[in-house]
Amino acid sequence: MDAPVSLLVHLPRTFDSVDEPHAYEFAALRLYVKPAEIVENSEFPGEQPPIAWPLDDLAAAGEAIDNPSVDRCLVLEGDDLETVLPLLQGANQLSVFESEGEVYSLIPQPLYPGESGC
């Protein structure tokens, strides 16, 4: 058998493998922030109250980015991530977050190994 093909067919047992599927456990989360677009008398089922944002004002959090879809980007880790993660896990695509009297939509993105910042 050709050597490269043999390597692929007979992989050494030293590779880490996953026995059971599980959610990726991330140590940092990138959040894109934009003002929420509230549509009066929309046809969305039900009405969701805004979720109170527990950290610094979202209007000034993180850094401004040059993107027409979002205004700001911030990275959460450590205690800040532990504080916000349960709120995000209870949220859905229609959830908005209230900070200093304004409402915002958030787009979360886990940071993978080798990624950092915005």
- 112 secondary structure, DSSP code: P
| Residue ranges making up the domain that contains 45 | 19-110
Convert the pLDDT of each residue in 4-51 to its tens digit: 544 445 545 554 556 788 788 889 999 999 999 877 777 665 568 899
Residue 81 belongs to some domain of the structure: yes
- Domain membership of residue 51 (yes or no) is yes
The pLDDT tens digits of the residues spanning 46-99 come to 568 899 999 999 999 999 999 888 999 999 999 999 999 999 999 998 899 999
pTM over 0.85: no
Distance of CA 87 to the CA centre of its chain: 12
Q: Is residue 115 part of a domain?
A: no
Assigned domain for 9 exists: no
Side-chain half-sphere of 36: how many Cα atoms within 13 Å?
21
Decide if 57 is inside a domain: yes
Q: What is the number of domains present in the chain?
A: 1
Closest CA to 27 of 118, 112, 114, 117: 112
Q: Which residues contact 38 (CB under 8 A, 6 or more apart)?
A: 96, 103
SS (H, E, C) 29-92: EEEEEEECCCCCCCCCCCCCCCEECCCCCCCCCCEECCCCCCCEEEEEEHHHHHHHHHHHHCCC
